[in-house]
Amino acid sequence: MFDGGGKMKIAIASDHAGFEMKEAIKNAFPEIEFVDFGTHNTESMDYPDTGFPAAKAVAEKQCEKGILICGSGIGMSITANKVKGIRAALCGNTDVARLSRLHNDANILVLAGRFTAIPYAIEITKVWLNTPFEGGRHLNRINKIQQGER
């Protein structure tokens, strides 16, 4: 299912609205080593407190990819995309998830805990994890994004 020997290491984090989905995703992919940045319950908290550390772990190559979840997915997307080297994509369906990897080499998947059914979120995650970056003409665009970060 994944390349590169050993377990794929994925940073995962949520706020209170995404906690249940985060736990379901971790349970759905036992072949993955998840580094859980929290939250660890449904008590109200602020998504940047878990989103920034998870995104930094991906940017610093401590984890191969990341999955972030908040109520709408918007807060986590904004948070993650503030970290240099992160290309976080809010994906509400499997087609967008596939394209975010093929064309944009997204390194963080963002999900909407209040707007996506958990079984479908698991399907979105599966497609996202198993779709490689296509490269080619898309690499030039990724390079331009990286230039813009400097």
DSSP β-bridge partners for residue 148: none
91 in catalytic set: no
103 in catalytic set: yes
User: Is 141 one of the annotated binding-site residues?
Assistant: yes
User: Is 150 one of the annotated binding-site residues?
Assistant: no
User: Is 148 one of the annotated binding-site residues?
Assistant: no
- Catalytic member of 40, 63, 91, 103: 103
- Catalytic member of 40, 63, 70, 138: 70
Angle between helices 94-102 and 118-130 (to 10 degrees): 20
- β-pairing verdict for 8-14 and 32-36: parallel
User: Is 101 one of the annotated binding-site residues?
Assistant: no
- The rounded radius of gyration (Å) of the Cα atoms in the chain is 14
User: Is 71 one of the annotated binding-site residues?
Assistant: yes
Up-side HSE of residue 108: CA atoms within 13 Å toward CB? 37
- β-pairing verdict for 88-90 and 8-14: unpaired
User: Is 143 one of the annotated binding-site residues?
Assistant: no
User: Is 74 one of the annotated binding-site residues?
Assistant: yes
Q: Looking at the annotation, which residues are catalytic?
A: 70, 103
Instruction: Detail the residues annotated as belonging to a binding site for D-ribulose 5-phosphate.
Output: 15-16, 71-75, 104, 114, 137, 141
Instruction: Detail the residues annotated as belonging to a binding site.
Output: 15-16, 71-75, 104, 114, 137, 141
